[in-house]
Amino acid sequence: METKTILLVEDDFLNRRLSKKILAETGYQVLEAKNAREAFEILKKEKVTLAILDINLGEQEQDGISIGEQLQKIYCIPFLYLTAYDVNEIVTKAIATVPQAYLTKPFKNIDLLTTVQLVIQKFAKQETNRPSMRVKDGAYYVELFVDEIDYIEAEGNYLLSRAHNKVYKSRSSIKQILEALPPSLFVQTHRAFIVNKTKIDKFNIKSLVVKGEVIPVSRNYIEHIDMICRIG
């Protein structure tokens, strides 16, 4: 059985050591980070199954909620909060980032282990049902989940799929890929562009913005703006 890797982001040494001990004794590999910078360095190098985030990571440090936002939007990694915060305002802000769970300190060992196991099982089941497409990442082929794509651009006989701040290449046409993509998630805005509706930051009848990139909206596809308006 493959060892599951957990990213533990906790600034307090004693809390970090206790949580790591509980998880490691159950067979998980635990990678420790004291702050956001260390967490994202780990994510660049390691395949992480689940992240456990403290919310308060010290003064002048990026908090756990902002890390959760990036895990949800960019990395598509399940995460849960393990924190001393039980104030309604903080909890509401944290829940808005769509964590898989929210545990407060102090916690029972069995509560942490049960929650972690349930989150991993739930996410694994979701992964098996997620549509994907085969694309080239440099010289290699990889499977890319379609819901992770920001937008697709046609370039000659190829499609350039933008996701994770990278460009993935595949040999296909806009017409062919549209037939394969879920219409509830994607919309064509131009003869050379398809956009993931959930990734749109802002738009008007001439263009829209996805992750800072301006995507054109041509006259033939203006009616699709109405579809974009119904996001969420």
Which CATH homologous superfamily contains domain 5-128?
Response regulator (3.40.50.2300)
Note the CATH architecture for domain 132-229. Answer: Beta Barrel (2.40)
Nearest Cα residue to 119 out of 47, 26, 52:
52
Quick: pLDDT tens for 96-150.
998 999 999 999 999 999 999 999 988 877 666 678 888 998 888 888 889 889 9
- The greatest distance separating any two alpha carbons of the chain, rounded to the nearest whole angstrom, comes to 60
Quick: pLDDT tens for 33-68.
999 999 999 988 888 999 999 999 988 888 999 999
Which sequence spans correspond to the domains of the chain?
Answer: 5-128, 132-229
CA 85 to chain centre: 24
For the chain, how far is it from start to end, CA to CA, in angstroms?
A: 38
Q: Is 96 left (phi over 0), alpha (psi -120 to 50) or beta?
A: alpha
Q: How confident is the model at residue 83 (pLDDT cuts 50, 70, 90)?
A: very high
Amino acid letter, residue 192: A
- 93 within 8 A of 135, measured Cβ to Cβ: no
